[in-house]
Structure formats: C-alpha cells, structure tokens
Chain A
C-alpha cells in the first residue's frame, strides 16, 4: 500500500464530507438541525449533471448544483423558521423529497430510473490523481474558510450567538431569523457542492448516489463537536477508514461492513460522552425565540 496513493485517495473520498460537514456546522451552530445534508447533496449532484449535460460546461453544472442546493435549503429554512415545524421531521421530509424529486426529473429529462448519461467533469489527467480538479481544491479549503467565517467575522459571531442564546442576540438588535436563513442557505450550497463533486467525479448521476454520505457528514459535525476544523479532521478520519478498507480489498482482515460502521459508532460514543462530551449549541433544534 503506497502512502501517497493512500493519501490522495483519502482526500478524494473526503471531499464530499468536507463540503457537507462544513455547511452542516454553519447551520447547526446557528441553531437549526441539519439532518438535511444528505438531501442537499443529492440535489446538488443531480442539478450539476443536469446543468453540465445541457450546457456542456461543468462550471455551469457547479452553478446549477449550488442553485439546486439553495432551493432545497430555502424550503428547509421556511418550514423550520417561519412555520416552526419540527426540525427532525422536516429533515426526514427534505431527504425523501430530494430522492423523489431527483428520481422524477431523472425520468423526465433522461428517461431512466437509474442513471443519467455521462457528462464531462473536471480534470481527467490520470497522473494528477484527481488534483487537477478545481472542486477538490475548493473542498480542501472550505473547512478553513468556514472556520474563519465562524470565528473571525461579525456574521460568524452572530451565528454563534443565535445558536447558543438567541434571546441575548435579539436583545441587542440582531435578527436571529435573518442569521438562520443565511446559515441554512450556506449549508445548502456547501452540501450541494459536495454532491456536485461526487457526480462530476463519477461523470454521471445515479439514483440515490449519495448513499448516506450526508449522514457521515453529520457524524463528523457531531464528532467534531460543531467546530469546523475538528469536523474536517473527523471527515478525514472517516475517509481514511474507508480508504483503508478499499485498498485492503483482497485481505479480509476486517470485513468492509465493520469499517462502514466506524463513523457511526464513533458518533454514538461521542454522544454518550465516553470520550469527552459532545455538547451541541444550546439553542439547537428549538426554533422559538
């Protein structure tokens, strides 16, 4: 097992998680539960393929993917913030809706129940090991950028206040509603970019292609205790485990199913506080202020 090839594959696998987890951190820090990352990712993937297919340019696909994620994020935001619907239920609904909508339009536009036609992506130079893909670099940079925004900008300060003590924020004139709408929009766009990367990397969209990656991203957010950099490290950890298992395919020392379980088991352990308590933002999930 070549360490270079291990690292490069690990990074490639981690990119969708990095995008989605970074988006999830922003939304959850503002107080909105983000079980929707899976749905945003899937939407982004499909919209990207749609956009690339009809325009011929993957950059249009990226734009389309971001718009798709934004639309679904706005549905999430309106339902939870304006209508005060239960955030977990809305999360489930958005994920189901994403599956349904992508399937429906897959049939409508591409007349298929399973996959779209192939589209061009980025990069393609075999020797570059995927590093000639601009999205990859974007994905590598997204977590530090989000960390910067959260900790070093006025907006980030308001996000943190909104998620911990919305009444205090309102008492000094900060509109918690506005902050949360923007935070959810960001989560939608970033998670969608994760899907965009996935779809363009595989050069097509297949039904339910995100296959639970959005939930691994949530695991990373929780395991990383809602800190962007720690969540990113968790993403790398999970990706490393996956890479490990793939590269050892012939050797059945650890069955693949157990490697699959690692992110989820770690998250459960983090929640139970066995290795340090994972305490969420105090106002997470309560949309009343």
Chain B
C-alpha cells in the first residue's frame, strides 16, 4: 500500500486542539440535558402540571433561596467526592463501583476517630486526623479490588459491586451489634472533629446542612487535578488508561498504576464520609451513604472524568435531588429519580455516538 504525499498533508488538522476536545467532551452532557428536559416535560404533563411553572418552582427552591441552595451544596459535596473517586479510577481505565461502601467505611473511620479523640481537641488537629482515618477506611476497601485485579486479573466491576454488600453488611454488624445508641442505628455523637456548618458562619444558608466539608471537596478536586495533569504519577496513570500498550512500552508498570489508582479512588471516596459524619449529623449512621456510589458514577460520566466537570455535575445532580423536594407539592419527587436514570442513560448512549459522528464529519471535511 502506498500513501500519496497529498494524503499525508491532508490529514493534518489546522484548528486549535481544544476545540475538538470541547466538542467531544461537552456535547454528550448537553444532549443528556436536552433529553432529560424532554422527559421531565412529559412526566410533569402526565401529572397535569405546567412544565414552565414546575421548572420555575424548581429553581426557586434550589438556587433561589438560601436554605435550598445550602442543601444543594451539602448534597453536591458528597457527590463530588464519589464522583472524583470514580473519575480517578476511570482515568486509569478502571471502573470503581464501590463508592458507597468506601464512603461508608470512610465515614465510619472518621466517626471512630472523632469518638476516640478527647473532647475539646482543636479542629486543626482533629480534622486532619479524622480525614486520615476516613481516607484509610476508604483506601482499605479500595485496595481489595486493586489487589485482586493486579494479582489475579479479577475484574474490578464485579469485585467492587460484591464488596459493597460485604462491607456495608460488616459495618451494619458493627453498629447494630456494638456501637449504636439504643433505638437508633447510629453511633454516639463525636467529641472532636466537628465541622462547622456554613449556616453557623453566616446567616444565609440558615438551617442547611452545608458545611466546611465543601471546602475540603474543592481542595480534593484541586489536588486530583494537580496530580492527574501536573504530576509524573498522573502522567503515567493517564497513559495506562489511554493506551496501556504504549505505557508498557514506555517502561510504566501497569500493575503498579492499577494498584495506586483503585486504592486512591477508595481514599477519595472515604474522605467524602466527613460531609455527613463531621459536618452534618456528627455521628455515623447506618445507611448514610445509600445511593451515593451509583450517583458518583453518573457524576463522573456527566463530568467527563475531569475534576472541574465533576464539581459541576455534582452540583447539577444535587440540584435535581433537592429540586425534587421543592416541587413536591406539584409533582412527586420521584420524578427526579427517573430523570437521574434518564440522564445517565442519555450520556452513556451519546458518548460513543457523538464521537463517531464527529470523527467521520472531520474526515469528510478534510477529504
């Protein structure tokens, strides 16, 4: 086969590189948004309500008032952590479905630390210690699939799903058996490491659960961004996720990258536990992590595995969740559950389709 010189020149793309990136990255979420809006309209109409009115109520109840906005921020914080965890794993080509158990284990670790520390320990000391315990909890849970994948080639999707059940059952046993306050399924209130709520710091957000864990989430997002795009380890991790054969050729140990990626994915999710445990209820409660793992997958997907996208997507999904409550009088909040599933499905379907369409459009443009 001979490649003609004209052909070689024609393959060079002259426009700025970020434009294709942007196209492939942003179009799927926008498509999903559109599909979700249409579905939302249909569901609202089936309840005999007017979509415009409901959407306005949604916005008023979420971004339009201080309490609602605070609640959105609170929910977004947890989702940011699990979303960052999933996206971190995906960057290495690994699918971490264990967000829920890693989150719970992290919260558990934070609660135990908070109980063990003496009353009055200053936050400067207590918070890092609790965070380390939280990270450790999630990291241990994340290390199991990491090890099984590296050593035995066991597929991390099934292992993390299975481990979710195992770990949650184990934690339930700890609580129900030994550590719970009678008549409840939660630990006693922690002595140290309590994070102030945003409401405590300013009279706006009054009553909402948003707390300083939000700042931690943003910092962790920044750290993830820095690691992925500025650190050597991140360069190697992304290489393994994009083209493992080339990474191997370049001397990168794929197994070690996998080990690091899944374990740290667990650590990130684990730290997320502080949102509920340190910032909101001040105790560990059985079941607080429910659903956060799967939604984390949605957040990572819609956020296109980029820390900034994840933060935005977390905010979006939190808005949907809180919005459900706000519009409850008109349309059942269950509508939001449906929309969540629709959004994920729409994004999942549009990613390969958009890529295919854009690539063939580019090729014909050059011909």
Complex Cα spacing A79 to B341, Å: 13
The stretch of A14-22, A87-95, A122-130 in contact with B is A87-95
**Nearest CB of chain A from residue B199's CB, rounded to whole Å:** 28
Q: Do A268 and B163 contact each other (CB < 8 Å), given the known contacts A90-B348, A113-B334?
A: yes
Provide the B323-361 mask, 1 if CB < 8 A to any CB of A, else 0.
000000000101111111110110011111100000000
Residues of chain A lying within 8 A (CB to CB) of residue B176: 257
Provide the A107-139 mask, 1 if CB < 8 A to any CB of B, else 0.
110000100000000000000000000000000
Contact of B338 with A261 in the complex, beta carbons under 8 Å = no
Most chain A CB within a 10 A radius of its CB, from B157, B158, B165: B158
Residues of chain B lying within 8 A (CB to CB) of residue A100: 334-341
Which secondary structure dominates chain B's binding surface?
helix
Contact of B165 with A215 in the complex, beta carbons under 8 Å = yes
**A: interface residue count bin:** 35 or more
Residues of chain A lying within 8 A (CB to CB) of residue B341: 93-101
The residue from B154, B177, B350 contacting A271, defined by CB atoms under 8 A apart: B154
Provide the B290-318 mask, 1 if CB < 8 A to any CB of A, else 0.
00001001100100000000000000000
Q: Does A235 contact B (CB under 8 A)?
A: no
Q: Do A272 and B152 contact each other (CB < 8 Å), given the known contacts A88-B97, A101-B341?
A: yes
Residues of chain B lying within 8 A (CB to CB) of residue A103: 332, 334, 337-338
Q: Does B170 contact A (CB under 8 A)?
A: yes
Contact of A79 with B348 in the complex, beta carbons under 8 Å = yes
Complex Cα spacing A84 to B350, Å: 9
Most chain A CB within a 10 A radius of its CB, from B157, B173, B338: B338
Contact of B345 with A90 in the complex, beta carbons under 8 Å = yes
Chain A residue nearest in CB terms to B352: A84
Contact of A104 with B161 in the complex, beta carbons under 8 Å = no
The residue from B159, B169, B352 contacting A85, defined by CB atoms under 8 A apart: B352
Q: Do A93 and B148 contact each other (CB < 8 Å), given the known contacts A83-B352, A264-B163?
A: no
Contact of B169 with A86 in the complex, beta carbons under 8 Å = no
Contact of B344 with A96 in the complex, beta carbons under 8 Å = yes
Q: Does A35 contact B (CB under 8 A)?
A: yes
The residue from A35, A97, A260 contacting B342, defined by CB atoms under 8 A apart: A97
Residues of chain B lying within 8 A (CB to CB) of residue A101: 337-338, 341
Complex Cα spacing A38 to B176, Å: 27
Residues of chain B lying within 8 A (CB to CB) of residue A56: none
Contact of A35 with B161 in the complex, beta carbons under 8 Å = yes
| Residues 118-169 (chain A) with a chain B CB within 8 angstroms | none
Q: Do A95 and B148 contact each other (CB < 8 Å), given the known contacts A35-B161, A100-B340, A268-B162?
A: no
Contact of B154 with A260 in the complex, beta carbons under 8 Å = no
Contact of B332 with A107 in the complex, beta carbons under 8 Å = yes
Complex Cα spacing A25 to B159, Å: 18
Chain A residue nearest in CB terms to B177: A255
Contact of A85 with B157 in the complex, beta carbons under 8 Å = no
Residues of chain A lying within 8 A (CB to CB) of residue B203: none
Complex Cα spacing A101 to B342, Å: 10
Q: Do A92 and B351 contact each other (CB < 8 Å), given the known contacts A100-B337, A100-B340, A271-B152?
A: no
Q: Number of B interface residues, CB 8 Å?
A: 46
Complex Cα spacing A264 to B144, Å: 14
**Nearest CB of chain A from residue B288's CB, rounded to whole Å:** 17
Contact of A94 with B166 in the complex, beta carbons under 8 Å = no
The residue from A88, A90, A104, A265 contacting B332, defined by CB atoms under 8 A apart: A104
Q: Does B155 contact A (CB under 8 A)?
A: yes
Chain A residue nearest in CB terms to B295: A96
Provide the B94-105 mask, 1 if CB < 8 A to any CB of A, else 0.
010100000000
Q: Do A92 and B297 contact each other (CB < 8 Å), given the known contacts A222-B158, A255-B173, A260-B169?
A: yes
| Residues 151-196 (chain B) with a chain A CB within 8 angstroms | 151-152, 154-155, 157-159, 161-163, 165-166, 169-170, 172-173, 176-177
Contact of B162 with A219 in the complex, beta carbons under 8 Å = yes
Contact of B332 with A258 in the complex, beta carbons under 8 Å = no
Residues of chain B lying within 8 A (CB to CB) of residue A106: 334
Contact of A265 with B345 in the complex, beta carbons under 8 Å = no
**Nearest CB of chain B from residue A259's CB, rounded to whole Å:** 9
Residues of chain A lying within 8 A (CB to CB) of residue B163: 264, 268
Contact of B344 with A261 in the complex, beta carbons under 8 Å = no
A75-B345, A96-B344, A273-B152 known; 16 other A-B pairs, CB under 8 Å? A83-B352, A83-B353, A88-B97, A90-B348, A92-B97, A99-B337, A100-B337, A103-B338, A108-B46, A212-B165, A255-B173, A255-B177, A261-B169, A264-B162, A268-B159, A268-B163
Which A residues are within 8 Å of any B CB, using their own CB? Answer: 35, 75, 79, 83-86, 88-90, 92-101, 103-104, 106-108, 113, 212, 215, 218-219, 222, 255, 257-258, 260-261, 264-265, 267-268, 271-273, 280
10 contacts between A and B (CB under 8 A): A83-B348, A89-B297, A92-B297, A95-B294, A100-B334, A100-B336, A108-B46, A257-B169, A261-B169, A268-B162
